[in-house]
């Protein structure tokens, strides 16, 4: 009950600061513009993919960090009341992740609906895109909470957030590339598959790729990837990895929230 109350309060606070609105409008305008200039739903999805994979983690992690620092006083106030820390944490998290997910889903989904881009096979691809976007929102919001709870210094926390974002979007892939070149003599298909599970951005990208870029992926290597992620087992593993990425940072954040001496 308390969780809901806190979430509702935070929701009102978040709406008042209008950034969620801007965030939603950003996706709305972007998708709409892509439709107006680009045409078919499939193309729009391809263009959106880059935005989703780069912008969502960035916004979620940066805003999440700021949000938790910003609600520091509110948190301290509530902790003096008979409120369980668990409910408070959940409420804070829902107050951030919920409006962001809704803004993203509406901002992207509405133009699709308005332009009739759901025809053909794009419906399921759009669902996948929305699912990936929401998943990344949750993951990076959890990471943000974890970071904000572990450092007192706001600027430093923000720096770490940006660092984490750069690591998952750029550095990680650089390391994968390095590994591929260094270990060129070994069959690398499976290790590379395993590596991709360690990065939620990569995981999202590969899942989306398999629904769009099938023809290029049909080479031998592509066939290996496709067979893995296309099979029931592969999809199960991918979804489980995605879920683990949400749950583990969230649980860690909750634990440090419990232990933190405010």
Partner 1 sequence: MSRERPRRARTFAAMTVVGIALLLLALAPRPEGTALELPGSEAAASARATAATQAPTGHDTATPHQSHEGHAPATPSRPETFTGTEHVVGRGERLERISDALEVAEAGDRIRVRGGHYREGPLTIDRSIELIGEGWPVLDGEGEHSILTVTANDVRIQGFILRDSGFSHIRDHAAITVEESRGCRIEHNRLENNFFGIYLARAHDCLVRHNDIRSSATREATSGNGIHLWDVDRVQVEDNHITGHRDGIYLEFAQGAVIRSNRSEGNLRYGLHFMFSNESFYVNNVFARNGAGVAVMYSRDVIMSRNQFLDNWGTSAYGLLVKDVQDSLIEENLFRGNTVAIHSEGSDRLTFRLNRLERNGWAVKILANSQDNYFTANNFIDNTFDVITNSRQNPNTFDANYWSQYRGYDLEGDGTGDLAHRPVRLFSFIVETKPVALILLRSFFVDILEVAERVLPILTPETLTDENPLMIEVPGGEPWA
- CA 54, CA 231: separation in Å to the nearest integer? 27
- CA 257, CA 262: separation in Å to the nearest integer? 9
Q: Is residue 26 at the binding interface for partner 1, with CB under 8 A as the rule?
A: yes
Q: Is residue 219 at the binding interface for partner 1, with CB under 8 A as the rule?
A: yes
Region of 99 on the Ramachandran plot (φ > 0 left; ψ -120 to 50 alpha; else beta): alpha
Piece of the chain touching partner 1 by CB under 8 A; list 54-62, 93-101, 119-127, 240-248: 54-62
Q: Burial level of 261, CB count in 10 A (0-12/13-18/19+)?
A: exposed
Work out how close the CB of 87 gets to partner 1 at its nearest, in angstroms, rounded to a whole number: 23
- CA 59, CA 240: separation in Å to the nearest integer? 24
Work out how close the CB of 1 gets to partner 1 at its nearest, in angstroms, rounded to a whole number: 29
Helix or strand run (H / E) with residue 171: none
Among 118, 130, 192, 239, binds partner 1 (CB under 8 A): 192
Among 16, 80, 116, 181, binds partner 1 (CB under 8 A): 181
Q: Is residue 52 at the binding interface for partner 1, with CB under 8 A as the rule?
A: no
Q: Is residue 213 at the binding interface for partner 1, with CB under 8 A as the rule?
A: yes
Work out how close the CB of 110 gets to partner 1 at its nearest, in angstroms, rounded to a whole number: 18
Q: Is residue 74 at the binding interface for partner 1, with CB under 8 A as the rule?
A: no
- CA 40, CA 177: separation in Å to the nearest integer? 33
Q: Is residue 230 at the binding interface for partner 1, with CB under 8 A as the rule?
A: no
- CA 91, CA 9: separation in Å to the nearest integer? 9
Q: Is residue 209 at the binding interface for partner 1, with CB under 8 A as the rule?
A: yes
Work out how close the CB of 139 gets to partner 1 at its nearest, in angstroms, rounded to a whole number: 17
- CA 53, CA 73: separation in Å to the nearest integer? 33
Q: Report the length, in residues, of the chain.
A: 262
Q: Closest Cα to residue 44, out of 123, 134, 135?
A: 123
Work out how close the CB of 158 gets to partner 1 at its nearest, in angstroms, rounded to a whole number: 6
Q: Is residue 21 at the binding interface for partner 1, with CB under 8 A as the rule?
A: no
Q: Provide the b/e sequence for 26-43 (b: ≥16 CB within 10 Å).
A: bbbebbbebbeeeeebeb
Helix (H, G, I), strand (E, B) or coil at 235: helix
Interface map 155-174 toward partner 1 (x if CB under 8 A): x--x---x------xxxxxx
Rg (CA), the chain: 20
Contacts with partner 1 by CB under 8 A lie at: 19, 26, 33-34, 37-39, 43-44, 46-47, 49-51, 53-55, 58-59, 62-63, 65-66, 69-70, 72-73, 154-155, 158, 162, 169-174, 176-177, 180-181, 184, 188-189, 192-193, 196, 202, 205-206, 209, 213-223, 225
């Amino acid at each position: 009950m308390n969780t809901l109350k806190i979430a509702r309060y935070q929701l009102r606070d978040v709406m008042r600061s209008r950034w969620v609105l801007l965030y939603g409008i950003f996706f709305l305008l972007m998708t709409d513009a892509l439709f107006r200039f680009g045409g078919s739903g499939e193309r729009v999805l391809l263009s959106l993919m880059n935005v989703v994979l780069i912008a969502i983690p960035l916004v979620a992690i940066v805003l999440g960090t700021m949000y938790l620092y910003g609600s520091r006083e509110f948190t301290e106030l509530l902790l003096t009341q008979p409120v369980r820390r668990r409910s408070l944490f959940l409420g804070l998290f829902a107050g951030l992740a919920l409006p962001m997910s809704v803004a993203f889903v509406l901002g992207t989904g509405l133009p699709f609906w308005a332009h009739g881009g759901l025809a053909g096979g794009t419906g399921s691809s759009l669902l996948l895109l929305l699912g990936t976007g929401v998943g990344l929102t949750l993951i990076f919001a959890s990471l943000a909470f974890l970071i904000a709870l572990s450092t007192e210094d706001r600027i430093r926390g923000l720096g770490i957030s940006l660092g984490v974002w750069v690591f998952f979007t750029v550095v990680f892939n650089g390391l994968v590339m390095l590994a591929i070149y260094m270990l060129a003599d070994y069959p690398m298909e499976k290790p590379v598959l395993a590596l991709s599970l360690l990065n939620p951005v990569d995981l999202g990208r590969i899942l989306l790729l398999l629904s769009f870029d099938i023809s290029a992926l049909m080479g031998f290597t592509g066939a290996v990837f496709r067979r893995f992620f296309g099979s029931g087992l592969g999809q199960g593993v991918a979804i489980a990895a995605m879920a683990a990425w949400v749950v583990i940072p969230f649980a860690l954040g909750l634990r440090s929230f419990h232990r933190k001496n405010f």
